[in-house]
Amino acid sequence: MGGSLIADNWSLQNIAELFATGVDDSSAAAISVNKSADAHVYEPLPRAAISFEALFDFITDIILRDQLLVDQRFTSTWTGLDTDLRKLADANVIRPLEFLAQADKLAGPRNEFVERLCLTESLRAAHQKNSEEWARARQTPDHTLSATLWGGAGMLARAFISEKGYTPHPLRRRLFQQAGIVLPHEDAAARLVGAIQEKRASISRSTLGGDALYALRLNLPPLPLIVIREASSASQLLTVALQVRSEYQGLRDWLREYQQALVNSDSSRWAQFEKTLRSISTYIESLRGIVDSNAPTFTAGVGVLKVALKGHPVEAMKNQFGVRATVNRLILSGSGLDELKRLLGFFGHRHSGVAVKLIDHFRTKEQPRA
């Protein structure tokens, strides 16, 4: 299925725990690599922030993807909790697959990804110790490393052999980014999401003026913002996400056609989708008053698409309807501060210490998708 994507059971587990037990005020450990020292450390991050990142990714994928594929063997990590995630499985939005039925195909790619993720000798030694202890006693002394590195390599292998996009758990994503891992798969939805993020970040930077040091710059993904605005409680979030998913059927259809053009290397058809992205970019820049032909525009996966704005009333009209209008609304949907506070309020933390941590977390670090 062209619009399907592999999702992480670990992410779904964190989301289910968030809905079932509320915000966790403890810390999570993210692997941070120091290549010059050939060592790694664990950087503490708010566990609630990791759960919220996973939730934002999940809502985005619910709306933009036809189906989310998960490994059948590990679904018990979230199906055992009484949350609306099970309704998405019942509706076939989440579809479990027996990936380990292809264990022989997974081994080679997984081992290669392990090599690429062992960025330091310290990581390599810790992974080796985990492997030896698992073979001896079915236990790993460093569970965080095992889940992030070994589990992440396994998910990358699943994505590779199935030729699907993959949204990793936030802690895995951080390690993947440090390793510079990019799956050799053309993903239309990922291109669109990246283009929207880039344009939103550009708008955010240009509106801060000279007081950037003290400005509260957030750039949360826009689809979760829409869902948060329309929901009145945490229990409604996934129900509203499914409603928004229905409203965005036209965009998913467009992405499915775009995906097919990429997979088939149909350059003439592919060019039409790129033309739409260029039109959107030109229109957004015109709203900002940018007329320089060298003005920043979308990076759509294959380079910077630059279009001079010479006054195109026809393009402006086109951008009021259909896919162009939908994407424009996402780009111009605001930074998300009010929505983040609203979401925190759903969990009883609008004015808590957790709120301070999470607002600072999303202010100081943009969270790009892999």
What confidence tens digit (pLDDT) does each residue in 189-213 have?
Answer: 777 777 777 776 666 655 544 444 3
Burial of 353 (0-12, 13-18, 19+ CB in 10 A): exposed
What is the rounded CA–CA span in Å between residue 319 and residue 208?
26
- Mean per-residue pLDDT over the chain, rounded: 80
| pLDDT category of residue 355 using cuts at 50, 70 and 90 | very high
End position of a domain, from candidates 136, 152, 184: 184
CA distances from 41 to 31, 37, 57 (A): 6, 11, 26
Which secondary structure element, helix H or strand E, spans residue 167, and what is its range? strand 165-167
Mean pLDDT across 3-13 = 93
Please indicate, yes or no, whether residues 288 and 149 belong to a single structural domain of this protein. Answer: no
Mean pLDDT across 286-301 = 40
Residues in the chain: 370
Predicted local confidence at residue 205, as pLDDT? 58
| pLDDT category of residue 280 using cuts at 50, 70 and 90 | low
Whether the predicted pLDDT of 367 surpasses 50: no
User: Who has greater pLDDT, 158 or 103?
Assistant: 158
End position of a domain, from candidates 184, 206, 222: 184
Identify the domain containing residue 65 by its residue range.
Answer: 1-184
End position of a domain, from candidates 161, 184, 207: 184
Predicted local confidence at residue 210, as pLDDT? 41
Please indicate, yes or no, whether residues 25 and 142 belong to a single structural domain of this protein. Answer: yes
Please indicate, yes or no, whether residues 192 and 215 belong to a single structural domain of this protein. Answer: yes
> Hey, what are 361's tokens?
């977390």
User: Who has greater pLDDT, 199 or 293?
Assistant: 199
Whether the predicted pLDDT of 150 surpasses 90: yes
Please indicate, yes or no, whether residues 213 and 335 belong to a single structural domain of this protein. Answer: yes
Mean pLDDT lowest among 147-156, 272-281, 313-322: 313-322
End-to-end CA distance of the chain: 21
